[in-house]
Structure 1
């Protein structure tokens, strides 16, 4: 009998994946954003191999985008919006993991940058610092940058409602996240968000068509989704009906391709459903997930990852998992969506076939087996003040510094992945890669805290 009991306990632990420490993964994801910081670093900087950088930028602070040294405002704002959304909705997840203070500190870094980037008097928003092409022709840590750092902006003559609205959304969501913590700061964010949204609404256009085409690495497919999301966060922050009406006018009755820095249709639909409980918006949300869940239009890897695209495959799965957990909180197919979301996150944390059955985590620093060669300049360089060049990109050895918490791009549709620094498709990292993933981690900790964690059955569980 004792043996049968022991087997039952083992099977229960295997099914629920108790081995995954979601709270630990959550805290480490925050550390990744600390490693992306530009500007004068604070005294409590936890990333000791990073130093001050970009001190002469036209706008200091913010996050470097990925493994490079450019600050792209569009994906930075999209990441901040998702992170703030997860912090607001799954605050008890952060509390349970003991990461609330760490998260406030993390969120404030890009929000401070956006406040400096937007000048309501001149109606000018800085949307990028650095030239991506020139930056990519060098391999050096941000502390040693020697290339030109051009500043790109949108204004009344150079329209960019997509990036302006997304930045307004980030600040409006940020104002709600900080409302109980620092009312003065929350008010400053909200005031800036309102004026920036008004600017975006009055100057519709795609920013990549306004600034140098060669410089715009993040070209948006449209601005309606950003306008809707911005209007919804302003409605949540102000309860002014004009913003809800705006959101409804910008809403698109179409299923999103994914939740990403470019495509936010599902975010718009979820936010509208939360406020209106309209069956029409619910149907759109369910339609999105009908495509994403097994049997839909999304391909699945043999081990069960919802595989949308080779560029950041982990990112798309993590973002969709976050959206599913939000939908479940809103009362939409909670049992189904929670189980599916948890299984996607389990895959990213080790329930996959890479490296045998050794629980290979695609989040660096989680568990014993994870990527050692992420495509990231600063992490690949030796200690500060030592020479760094393309030779450090091309060496086949682990990075000198562990980029804790970073979610790498991910495997191909066959679960195949190579930990090679020069494979920037599978092994680069980015601010937007971690954003929905981190929110999903907080959502799962929230489920554990409230005893709603589903039993999962991943196809390739780690043992």
Structure 2
């Protein structure tokens, strides 16, 4: 039997579900042989075939897929592509070969439904009517899509209101190796490890942006989604803090994880849990997690007082842990060192002290922060998951109004603005480092907007910050935000987005294909260009095209800062 599926084409592209009819080609003595074939007009990344035979068949064999469902009476089958057969280019015939047997004298006929699982069925939340000052780029849309990116990074049991149709529950056994429930949190980047330090740093920065510019989220219709976004990692940190002097800071092994290309829903490798303790301290990650929880307290203290108080209690314990047991977490947890090696814990000491003071108004925390300030005095290198100098100096100025902290900020932006020590690309990006240059520029744009709110050079800082955010949104001639603006990236280095819908298989073949991802990773900010604005949208280029939770945190908060200015008709011209 040669079975040919004549597939209907809609507007030059295959419909997601197409009813097809089997054409019998060859049969003999109760046997049949054939293939299902069609030539797609566009590349696909996975398929499923649902077959209904007119009479029972048995001993059904084929070489291109796996049966994920078989009807006991032999009339209904669901076939999904094998790993090596899922990706298929446009213009080439796809053959699905098959042999089988039937009983009786009636030769089987069949109808089938071909499902192209490349299809992305995700729908976007509605946006409110624009309010405030007219803007070059739609900040409401950027905020909405950045929040979708964080939803796509969720690990664990997903909520009923999960907005990412192509993500499901994953890593539900996290923590079983140590007898604790460590499910939840965010996957770090395009991979599936949960790294505590960048996750906590991202949470603090997002919470800070919400505290500073809550009206931006209200005006854009994203306030409830923002609360959900921040609560997801905070819930995880509460689980990870299993004792006053014990914090789990990583789940998953980076080496094993980076050897796997597929969905987190399908992971089978071991996911070991790593902690810090009194014998293996981590002042940096304990301090940053304390800061995240203190910021979370401030976010939720009026919305959910009981939850907020729980966060604050954990924040105080973690702060004391970081203060009383000194050490770098990446020394105590070597599994983290190859990915997020910490350079110092002095900046987290200032940062955490500031956030605990912000949450409690207890002068002892501010005194601690000021005591550690000499270690971070002067112009700041930048702001990142590891570098807290710029943000800590700004908080110290916010609380004390001392000129020494203001001068640190002023010196920082002398270095960062044109004419300073930072390299600028020809199109205007403040280019700090090859890895994630957009991340550093956006983090510093956020802090510049906050410094302007506190009265430090507001006109020049706001104009500079807007130039950096607008570079990412399109001023460079293209967008660097997936699913937004002109010519955005379509192949970010991200496993989940590159994989077709379940139940299709996914492997390194999907990392290597030159086709766009089957799923749009809305809102994700890619690492960014080289120092000459050089950038090619390639999935394999994890330097320029990977995404990460900490890349989006300062970026999203900076966009909120610009939205706040637009609401109040204060955007620079």
TM-score, normalization by structure 2? 0.75
Counterpart secondary structure, 2:248: strand
Aligned match of 2:414: 290
Shift of 1:267: 0.9
Relative to 1, partners in 2 of residues 1:83 and 1:326: Cα closer, same or farther, differing over 3 Å? same
Q: 2:155 aligns with which of 32, 38, 57?
A: 38
Shift of 1:310: 1.0
CA distance in 2, matches of 1:371, 1:216: 27
Indicate if the aligned counterparts of 2:380 and 2:408 stay in contact, CA closer than 8 A. Answer: no
Question: What is the CA deviation profile of residues 412-437 of structure 1, one whole-angstrom value per residue up to 9, with x for unaligned ones?
Answer: 11111100000000100000000000
The 4+ residue runs of structure 1 with deviation greater than 4 A are 213-216
Indicate if the aligned counterparts of 1:269 and 1:281 stay in contact, CA closer than 8 A. Answer: yes
Aligned match of 1:255: 379
Structure whose alpha-carbon radius of gyration is higher: 2
Aligned match of 1:269: 393
CA distance in 1, matches of 2:305, 2:341: 35
Q: 1:425 aligns with which of 543, 546, 549?
A: 543
CA distance in 1, matches of 2:328, 2:336: 15
Indicate if the aligned counterparts of 1:132 and 1:215 stay in contact, CA closer than 8 A. Answer: no
Question: What is the CA deviation profile of residues 231-252 of structure 1, one whole-angstrom value per residue up to 9, with x for unaligned ones?
Answer: 1111011000000001101212
Indicate if the aligned counterparts of 2:528 and 2:544 stay in contact, CA closer than 8 A. Answer: yes
| 2:307 counterpart of 1:185 | yes
Indicate if the aligned counterparts of 1:258 and 1:320 stay in contact, CA closer than 8 A. Answer: yes
Which structure has greater strand proportion? 2
| 2:459 counterpart of 1:341 | no
Indicate if the aligned counterparts of 1:374 and 1:428 stay in contact, CA closer than 8 A. Answer: yes
Aligned match of 2:532: 414
Shift of 1:385: 2.3
More deviation, 211-220/166-175: 211-220
Aligned match of 1:149: 271
Indicate if the aligned counterparts of 1:120 and 1:196 stay in contact, CA closer than 8 A. Answer: no
Aligned match of 2:423: 299
Question: What is the CA deviation profile of residues 275-330 of structure 1, one whole-angstrom value per residue up to 9, with x for unaligned ones?
Answer: 00000000000000000000000011111111111100111111110010010011
CA distance in 1, matches of 2:138, 2:193: 33
Aligned match of 2:173: 56
Counterpart secondary structure, 1:126: strand
| 2:228 counterpart of 1:105 | yes
Indicate if the aligned counterparts of 2:394 and 2:409 stay in contact, CA closer than 8 A. Answer: yes
Aligned match of 1:159: 281
Shift of 1:367: 2.1
CA distance in 2, matches of 1:427, 1:352: 16
CA distance in 1, matches of 2:385, 2:427: 26
Does 1 or 2 have the higher relative contact order (CA < 8 Å, sep 6+)?
1
Aligned match of 2:368: 246
Superposed CA RMSD: 1.1
Q: 1:362 aligns with which of 480, 483, 486?
A: 480
Q: 1:81 aligns with which of 188, 198, 204?
A: 204
Relative to 1, partners in 2 of residues 1:174 and 1:216: Cα closer, same or farther, differing over 3 Å? farther
Q: 2:330 aligns with which of 208, 211, 218?
A: 208
Indicate if the aligned counterparts of 1:80 and 1:170 stay in contact, CA closer than 8 A. Answer: yes
Counterpart secondary structure, 1:350: helix
Which structure has greater helix proportion? 1
| 2:132 counterpart of 1:21 | no
Instruction: Structure 1: state its 5+ residue gaps.
Output: 1-15, 354-359, 456-463
Indicate if the aligned counterparts of 1:50 and 1:384 stay in contact, CA closer than 8 A. Answer: no
CA distance in 2, matches of 1:384, 1:293: 47
CA distance in 2, matches of 1:201, 1:285: 26
Shift of 1:255: 2.1
Shift of 1:215: 5.8
CA distance in 2, matches of 1:303, 1:96: 31
Question: What is the CA deviation profile of residues 330-385 of structure 1, one whole-angstrom value per residue up to 9, with x for unaligned ones?
Answer: 110000000000111111000004xxxxxx21111112420000000000011022
Indicate if the aligned counterparts of 1:131 and 1:215 stay in contact, CA closer than 8 A. Answer: no
CA distance in 1, matches of 2:161, 2:335: 39
Instruction: Structure 2: state its 5+ residue gaps.
Output: 1-132, 176-181
Aligned match of 1:397: 515
Counterpart secondary structure, 2:334: coil
Shift of 1:119: 1.8
Shift of 1:23: 1.5
Aligned match of 1:309: 433
* Residue pairs, 1:365-380, within 5 angstroms: 365-380=483-498
Relative to 1, partners in 2 of residues 1:158 and 1:390: Cα closer, same or farther, differing over 3 Å? same
CA distance in 1, matches of 2:547, 2:171: 20
Aligned match of 2:218: 95
| 2:558 counterpart of 1:440 | yes
Question: What is the CA deviation profile of residues 124-177 of structure 1, one whole-angstrom value per residue up to 9, with x for unaligned ones?
Answer: 100000000110011111001111100010001111000000000000001001
CA distance in 1, matches of 2:332, 2:196: 14
Aligned match of 1:120: 243
Question: What is the CA deviation profile of residues 421-462 of structure 1, one whole-angstrom value per residue up to 9, with x for unaligned ones?
Answer: 00000100000000000000000000001111001xxxxxxx
Shift of 1:109: 0.1
Aligned residue pairs: how many? Answer: 433
Shift of 1:211: 1.4
Q: 2:260 aligns with which of 138, 156, 162?
A: 138
